[in-house]
Structure 1
Amino acid sequence: MRIAITTTQVPFIKGGAEIMVEGLEKALIKHGHETEIISIPFRFNRNEVWKAMEMWDAQSFETFECGRIDRVICLKFPSFYLKSENKYVWLMHQHRSVYELFGTPYGEPSDDSIALTLKSEITKRDTISLSEAKKVFTISKRVSDRLKQFNGVNSIPLYQPPKLANSLRTGDQLPYIYFPSRLETLKRQELLIRSIQYMKSPCVIVISGDGGQWQYLNSLVTELGVSSRVKMLGRVNDDELIRWYSNSLGIFFGPYEEDYGFITLEAMLSAKPIITCNDSGGPLEFVIDGETGYITEPLAEAVAEAVDKLYFNRSKAKEMGFNGLQRYRDLRIDWDNVVEQLLSNH
């Protein structure tokens, strides 16, 4: 087949979305398909969002000079606005600031008339465009639930493996909790750092990644006087990432309303227990409280208690880690399954 993958991007930013695009392209090529990624820069201010919607809405993918495209797989808002009789959607997430983040500190204000107009227009166009697709998949049950709630659109959750799925391994149980992620407000590194004040154990916190919260989080560490117990690594390479995962006591991943969360899967593949929060979204599809990790309130005291449980009962922590590894295997999360589902005509 000749397959187009459509998406948007913020130049020089590489996170889970970009890894997903690259992984899908490689998997399709591996299965013998001619594949092209078609991506356009995206800006988050309101006027630019309107422009992006209009631009994608005007695109017809029925035919190009190259001839017919057999299947178009749309991944990100608003690329699924394009027109094609062979349009399929594998949705990462919608424009979150007008959906589940609307009226919260993370999204558009609910008392702003322009924001309300934008929300109404995006909801209407999303519903129409997604309903035009031959089939709609999402990256998680959480995203499917939102799609049903806000747009009345049915969809099929389809999990993808992390990039390092074949490289992650388990190692020692050293006394640190690891949190690799972009340093952004929604990821809530602050919650883990503040939990140190309430820990009974001498556990160390190791955080890797870069982002907009770098300066604030470093200042917070200094302000709380916990510099001896927090390592801020910045960006690490894949080999370093694997080592930090493999030798940790456990992984913290407690974002707010995460869509999916590769970190959860990477922790499972490293046979490490995961501490997450009851409002973290995607991770809750994988973490079973007391069996593969702990689900806590998004409070520093509750996170500290979970860390202490891992520290003072290492055998239980190890058991939960291997339970998570087995759960990952049972879910059959691999690219062969992704390709099979996306290209099925049933």
Structure 2
Amino acid sequence: MANILILGAKVPFTSGGQEVLVRSLEKELKARGHIVDTVELPFSVHPKESILNQCAIWRSLDLSSFGGRAVDLVIATKFPSYYARHPRKSLWLVHQRREIYDLYGTRYSDFSDDPRDEALRQMLVAGDDAVLAECAYRSGISKNVVTRLREYNELDAQVLYPPLSAGNAYYTKPAEDYILSVGRLCAIKRTDLIIKAMPIVHNFVKLKIVGIADEPQVMEYYKNEIDKHHLWERVEFLGRVGEQELLDLYAGALAVYYAPHNEDYGYVTLEAMASSKPVITCDDSGGVLEFVRDSENGLVVEATTDAIGHAVNKLVEDRALAEKLGRQGRLDIEKSGLLEGGWDRVINGLLSPLEQ
């Protein structure tokens, strides 16, 4: 039995895969008899100069003991939680500050080639190099995350896919006439592409969107697109929903749209597959493509509204194909070990510094 702290960075009033991962990890560690708590600090990207201060705050924390109880291990997850100091620090990397790495130079990054931005970016990269190198064990939640770590920081890590938290609760039922989109509403998730594709899609098919906005003006942008194309009868924003309602929405969908730009991992992909639903994604969607294979368990298309719209219509017009792809997805997720169980490998890796 060990005393373990899970470290996470939390953007207040938002929720996503990081929160699911931390809660599930804490639950699984406790089930194995460990004493576990989670330490989360609020994270903000504005102004970006404050990011250095937030790294320094994590670095300044004394995590050696609390209340007379020594901390045996810390498990860092998301930037900048891995800046914390501890002699036994495990890393289960969700993602780094991607705006200074793979997103740098794209419309998804707020770092420009301004000399001040470049100086800040170089300081953050150097900081990552140092604090990630000191981890006693390194892993990432997908091949995509681990590949980035190797490419940009020249550090190796093991791939540890997070198992699905709801396990065998996922089910399926006859498809209804709607496409489901799940996730935070922000530019990089590209919910706008499926909204703008809807005029191409057969007009009896609806789009249901689960998630809340976490970027300024994003909802205004979506609503403008809906107004422009007269889609209010066909697009429904459901906000944040409960676990059972989400399971039911997956079960009844014709297909699930999930096509972020260069995604880290994407629980949505696995949840759709576990619900026997085909996933419509794009050829630049990163970690999603570690699971979705074109015309085998989903459809992989270019990141354009035309391609996405025609992909939806292909499944609308051929329900047998949609069911076939969905069945294969369910088989794939069962074989992966991520539906039921799968935690032993994750836990064994993360706790390995305790044996050193």
TM-score (norm 1): 0.95
**How big is the alpha-carbon RMSD for the aligned residues of Structure 1 and Structure 2?**
1.7
Q: Read off the aligned partner of 1:24 and give its amino acid letter.
A: L
Change (3 A) 1:218 1:164: farther
1:42 aligns to 2:50 (yes or no): no
Matched with 2:345 is 337
Question: Could you tell me how far 1:234 is from its partner in structure 2?
Answer: 2.3
Secondary structure of 1:227's aligned partner? coil
The gaps in structure 2 that reach 5 residues or longer are none
Question: Could you tell me how far 1:105 is from its partner in structure 2?
Answer: 1.4
The 1-side partners of 2:65 and 2:251 are apart by 48
Matched with 2:241 is 236
Question: Could you tell me how far 1:121 is from its partner in structure 2?
Answer: 0.9
Q: Is the 8 A contact 1:172 1:247 kept in 2?
A: yes
Question: Could you tell me how far 1:2 is from its partner in structure 2?
Answer: 0.9
1:105 aligns to 2:113 (yes or no): no
Question: Could you tell me how far 1:264 is from its partner in structure 2?
Answer: 0.4
Q: Is the 8 A contact 1:201 1:308 kept in 2?
A: no
Secondary structure of 1:106's aligned partner? coil
Question: Could you tell me how far 1:63 is from its partner in structure 2?
Answer: 4.3
The 1-side partners of 2:315 and 2:104 are apart by 36
Q: Is the 8 A contact 2:90 2:351 kept in 1?
A: no
The match for 2:317 among 303, 309, 312 is: 312
Matched with 2:18 is 17
The gaps in structure 1 that reach 5 residues or longer are none
Q: Is the 8 A contact 1:276 1:294 kept in 2?
A: yes
Q: Read off the aligned partner of 2:208 and give its amino acid letter.
A: V
Q: Read off the aligned partner of 2:125 and give its amino acid letter.
A: T
Change (3 A) 1:218 1:163: farther
The match for 2:272 among 267, 271, 280 is: 267
1:161-210 Cα deviation digits (max 9, x unpaired): 23333322111111211112121111111100111222357422111221
The 2-side partners of 1:58 and 1:236 are apart by 37
Matched with 1:133 is 135
Q: Is the 8 A contact 1:208 1:236 kept in 2?
A: yes
The 1-side partners of 2:182 and 2:66 are apart by 42
Matched with 2:200 is 198
Indicate the larger mover: 215-224 or 259-268: 215-224
Q: Is the 8 A contact 1:101 1:108 kept in 2?
A: no
TM-score (norm 2): 0.92
The 1-side partners of 2:52 and 2:65 are apart by 25
Question: Could you tell me how far 1:266 is from its partner in structure 2?
Answer: 0.6
Question: Could you tell me how far 1:91 is from its partner in structure 2?
Answer: 0.7
1:4 aligns to 2:5 (yes or no): yes
Matched with 1:207 is 209
The 2-side partners of 1:237 and 1:222 are apart by 28
Question: Could you tell me how far 1:4 is from its partner in structure 2?
Answer: 1.1
Q: Read off the aligned partner of 2:344 and give its amino acid letter.
A: D
Q: Read off the aligned partner of 1:248 and give its amino acid letter.
A: A
Q: Is the 8 A contact 1:201 1:311 kept in 2?
A: no
Matched with 2:98 is 96
Secondary structure of 1:179's aligned partner? strand
Q: Read off the aligned partner of 2:279 and give its amino acid letter.
A: I
Secondary structure of 1:228's aligned partner? coil
1:297 aligns to 2:298 (yes or no): no
The 1-side partners of 2:167 and 2:116 are apart by 43
The 1-side partners of 2:126 and 2:290 are apart by 29
The 1-side partners of 2:82 and 2:111 are apart by 25
Question: Could you tell me how far 1:159 is from its partner in structure 2?
Answer: 0.9
Alignment of 1:46-125 (within 5 A): 46-125=48-127
Question: Could you tell me how far 1:61 is from its partner in structure 2?
Answer: 3.2
Q: Read off the aligned partner of 2:95 and give its amino acid letter.
A: H
Q: Is the 8 A contact 2:181 2:258 kept in 1?
A: yes
Q: Percent identity?
A: 35
Indicate the larger mover: 303-312 or 327-336: 327-336
Q: Is the 8 A contact 2:296 2:328 kept in 1?
A: yes
The 2-side partners of 1:18 and 1:103 are apart by 28
Matched with 1:178 is 180
The 1-side partners of 2:176 and 2:65 are apart by 57
Indicate the larger mover: 8-17 or 145-154: 8-17
1:118-161 Cα deviation digits (max 9, x unpaired): 11111111111111111101111111111111100101111112
Indicate the larger mover: 202-211 or 302-311: 202-211
